[in-house]
A and B are shown apart, each in its own frame.
Chain A
Amino acid sequence: MSQIATDREIDRSKMAVSDEVAIQINKMNKWYGAFHVLRDIDMTVQRGERIVIAGPSGSGKSTLIRCINRLEEHQKGDIIVDGIELTSDLKNIDKIRREVGMCFQHFNLFPHLTILENCTLAPMWVRKTPKKEAEEIAMHFLEKVKIPEQADKYPGQLSGGQQQRVAIARSLCMKPRIMLFDEPTSALDPEMIKEVLDTMVELAEEGMTMLCVTHEMGFAKQVANRVIFMDAGQIVEQNEPEEFFNNPKSERTKLFLSQILGH
């Protein structure tokens, strides 16, 4: 397990957290059939916060962030994103998805479109941005993730790390106010993890509201201002990274940390 994700200097002073609420979750519950995956989740995310969600597999952490953009439906409680309540109203769901970007473990780039087309598709069809402007935006973000030269290639021709950076750029092209990361480095070779984490750190430094499900504890220490530990569908402990890693309160957290940091 990499202790230090990236070697760059981080200027935490730039990462201000505002009082404005970005996501509010009250007593949210979800079941898969009879299986109770998420139990009474309460959570408030301020604008500009970087939250890392950790926990053993099957603890419901991916399901939690997938509920925020309604890739999964919750059955009880409220989720309010950017002031809009998530209900089965399709218009609200579309509004929220426009403001919430997401990166997946397996990138999920569209293999039949070039890198540039992957990035311009949503701005053109969802935001009705003219093609030329959408391409300028796309090139801007591809430069930011440092792969503008791959714009005309297809996803299948890129390495895993490059594909994940394209996926991040694709989300950013929609100019989202919140970014969700669902284990963005879990499917990558160790050599490629750093390039993706660097991109994410840079994004954090610009004040993006981020929720990351990840096992990269180095990344958590470096950029997160809160770590949430989940087990069995519940939030077991949450704290600032320093406290969380050096002085965990719950026995379950201690066990988890000893297992992932111990070797």
Chain B
Amino acid sequence: MSDTHAQTVAYVRETMLPEQAPPSTAAGPIRWMRDNLFSSVMNTVLTLLSVYFLWVVLSLVLPWVWYGSWTASSLRECREVVSDLGLAHGAACWSVIGERYLQLIYGFYPDELYWRANLAFILMIVALAPVLYPNLPRKILWFSALYPFLAFWLLWGGTLWTPVVAVAGFVLAYFAFEILNRAAGSLVGVIAAILVPVIWWLLLAGPVANGLAAVIPLAMEPVESAKFGGFMLSIIIGVTGIVMSLPLGILLALGRQSDLMIVKAICVGFIEFIRGVPLITLLFVASTLLNYFLPPGTTFDIILRVIIMVTLFASAYMAEVVRGGLAALPTGQYEAADALGLDYWKATRLITMPQALKISIPGIVSTFIGLFKDTTLVSIIGLLDPIGLTANIRADSNWNGIVWELYGFIALIFFIFCFSMSRYSMYLERKLKTGH
């Protein structure tokens, strides 16, 4: 500040200035356009060029979409109908979608059992709702926890006892941990909680399920995995992968930051190996190589194998995203949690992980979206996801040669799913913002 005035002019403010409303500027669409589209010569040129570009693209695409035929029963018939319209670039043959949309959704799932797939889908929304929106009653979470087993039974059918004994494994794990944690410490408890259910699933669960099925036969018509396909298959693989890769990724991220040398080495090795290998390779391993390693005669469901590979693949990326979030936390947060006497797991669960996850939301959702889109790669190992089905549909002599309409429709459905995930993540970020 210049000191000439300060020395010559004494000044004391007697009344503080009141707060005033900001000056009202001309608002409305014209003002907005001047600010955003025509603020300078360069900007005006760019605006006009962009408008021209949009006009060229849309004038070609929109008539093609809009005047497309919904009635033709084959590609040849469609071409005739469309050429009568006299459009320079032809029009779409949407009738292929009308004819094959059930197949694109359900694959070769028996059509009298569509209700089971539909019910599983509706219940999935019910199960996901309390996870996505914390305002809903917490008790629905019990349904969310049981839903995977219920969905398995609905989709694949067979005896009810298979999912029941699978759930029983988790219940056993819980009791093993509770009892041994008190009697012999948490490490023994954790080991027991892993060993007991594994022994149960591998050795006892099968005979117990068979025994129970013999006594009380509760079963639905089974559907084999080869009949699964279409968006149903994409959603099964995608949603299971998403739901399982997040917790697995969190554990891997924690393991990578652990002080325990062996745990750390295993996690780093796993993450780096999986990230260094293309997903396609893992899928080929799942579809062909795995059979050589398993004992002869074992049947290990192909969809299950693919889900495991996709989950492992996504969890390695997830681990790095979550580790980024953990690294971004100030050390003061860890110290404050320690100083209050919280142990490692409580501090992680209550203090560090919620904050790390909040920081990593954009990265986590990107990984989810990537995973969901990567499910289309299963077409390469012969599973009939929507992309796999396009080849199938083209094999029909009526539709031989159709490309754009099918891929366009599949792209649209994928876009709807991925865009909703992206919007949800933005909603979540806004909701979790606790600063100013």
What residues of chain A lie closer than 8 Å to B354, measured between beta carbons?
Answer: 112
Contact mask for chain A residues 88-128; partner B; CB cutoff 8 A; 1 contact, 0 none:
00100010011011101010111110000000011001100
A residues contacting the other copy or chain, number (CB 8 A)? 28
B window 380-432: CB within 8 A of A: 432
Within A151-171, the residues touching B (CB, 8 Å) are: 154-157, 170-171
A29 to chain B, nearest CB (A): 22
The reply to whether A170 and B340 contact each other, CB–CB distance below 8 Å, is yes
A112 near B332 with CB under 8 A, answer no
Answer whether residue A69 sits at the interface, using C-beta atoms and an 8 A cutoff: yes
**Least CB distance, A170 to chain B, in whole angstroms:** 7
Asked whether B180 is an interface residue with its Cβ less than 8 Å from the other chain, the reply is no
- Evaluate contact between B335 and A104: CB separation under 8 angstroms: yes
Closest chain A CB from B336 CB (angstroms): 4
Bound CA–CA A70/B341 (angstroms): 11
Cα–Cα distance between A255 and B358 once the two chains are bound (Å): 49
Question: Given A111-B435, A156-B435, A126–B335 Cβ distance below 8 Å?
Answer: no
Contact, CB under 8 Å: A112 / B432: yes
**Once the chains bind, are B435 and A125 in contact (CB under 8 Å)?**
no
CA separation between A106 and B335, bound complex, in Å? 11
Query: Given the complex of chains A and B, what is the CA–CA distance between A69 and B338 in angstroms?
Result: 9
The residue in B339, B435, B436 that gathers the most chain A C-beta atoms within 10 A of its C-beta is: B339
**Given the complex of chains A and B, what is the CA–CA distance between A97 and B341 in angstroms?**
5
B239 at the interface (CB under 8 A from A): no
Query: Which residues from B are CB-within-8-Å of A110?
Result: 333, 336, 351, 355
B61 in the interface (beta carbon within 8 A): no
> What's the least CB distance linking B325 to chain A, in Å?
12
The distance in angstroms between the C-alpha atoms of A140 and B351, with both chains bound, is 23
Q: Is B434 an interface residue (CB 8 A)?
A: yes
- Chain B residues, Cβ within 8 Å of A122: 340-342
Most chain A C-beta atoms within 10 Å of own C-beta, residue among B332, B341, B342, B434 = B341
Interchain nearest-CB distance for A77 vs B (Å): 21
B343 within 8 A of A: yes
Inter-chain contacts of B351 with A (CB < 8 A): 110
Q: Tell whether A71 is near chain B: CB-to-CB under 8 Å.
A: yes
Q: How many A-B residue pairs have CB under 8 A?
A: 68
CB-CB under 8 A from A171, the residues of chain B are: 339-340
Interface assignment of B136: CB less than 8 Å from any CB of chain A: no
- B340 close to A121 (CB less than 8 A): yes
User: Per-position contact with A for B70-109: 1 when CB-CB < 8 Å, else 0?
Assistant: 0000000000000000000000000000000000000000
Which residue of B has the minimal Cβ distance to A126? B341
Tell me the minimal C-beta distance from B208 to chain A in angstroms.
38
**Which B residues are in CB contact (< 8 Å) with A235?**
none
What are the interface flags for A40-78 relative to B under an 8 Å C-beta threshold, 1 for contact and 0 otherwise?
000000000000000000000000000001110000000
A121 x B335 contact (CB < 8 A): no
A174 at interface, CB cutoff 8 A: yes
Does residue B350 face the partner (Cβ distance < 8 Å to A)?
Answer: yes
Minimum CB–CB distance for A81 against chain B, Å: 13
Nearest residue, chain A, Cβ from B347: A125
B346 within 8 A of A: yes
A43 to chain B, nearest CB (A): 20
Tell me the A205-228 residues at the B interface (CB within 8 Å): none
Query: Do A156 and B336 have beta carbons less than 8 Å apart?
Result: no
User: Smallest distance from the beta carbon of A52 to chain B beta carbons, Å?
Assistant: 20
CB distance from B190 to the nearest CB of A (A): 15
A112: chain B residues at CB < 8 Å are 354-355, 358, 432, 434
Contacts of B436 in A (CB 8 A): 156-157
Q: Is the CB of A94 within 8 A of B341?
A: yes
Of residues B333, B340, B358, B436, which shows the largest number of chain A Cβ atoms within 10 Å of its Cβ? B340
Residues in B neighbouring A170, C-beta threshold 8 A: 340
**CA A182 – CA B40 in complex, angstroms?**
55
Q: 0/1 per residue, B333-372, Cβ < 8 Å to A? A: 1011011111100100011001100100000000000000
Contact status A71-B341, CB under 8 Å: no
Please, which residue of chain B has its CB at the minimum distance from the CB of A125?
Answer: B346
A154 and B434 contact, Cβ closer than 8 Å, known pairs A112-B354, A112-B355: yes
Contacts of B346 in A (CB 8 A): 125-126
- A98 and B335 contacting across the interface, CB-CB below 8 Å: no
Q: Closest approach, in angstroms, between the C-beta of A168 and any C-beta of chain B?
A: 13
Q: Which B-chain residue is minimally distant from A106 (CB atoms)?
A: B332
Q: Does B336 lie within 8 Å of A104, measured CB to CB?
A: yes
Complex Cα–Cα for A240 and B406 (A)? 87
Q: Considering the chains assembled together, what is the distance between the CA atoms of A98 and B350 in angstroms?
A: 17
A101 to B333, CA, bound (A): 15
Candidates A106, A109, A121; contact of B350 at CB < 8 Å: A121
B-chain residues with CB within 8 Å of residue A155 when the two chains form the complex = 434
Which 7 pairs, one residue from A and one from B, show the smallest C-beta to C-beta distance? A108-B336, A156-B435, A108-B332, A97-B341, A122-B340, A154-B434, A102-B339
Write 8 A-B pairs (CB below 8 A) sorted by A numbering.
Answer: A122-B340, A122-B342, A126-B346, A154-B435, A156-B436, A157-B435, A171-B339, A174-B340
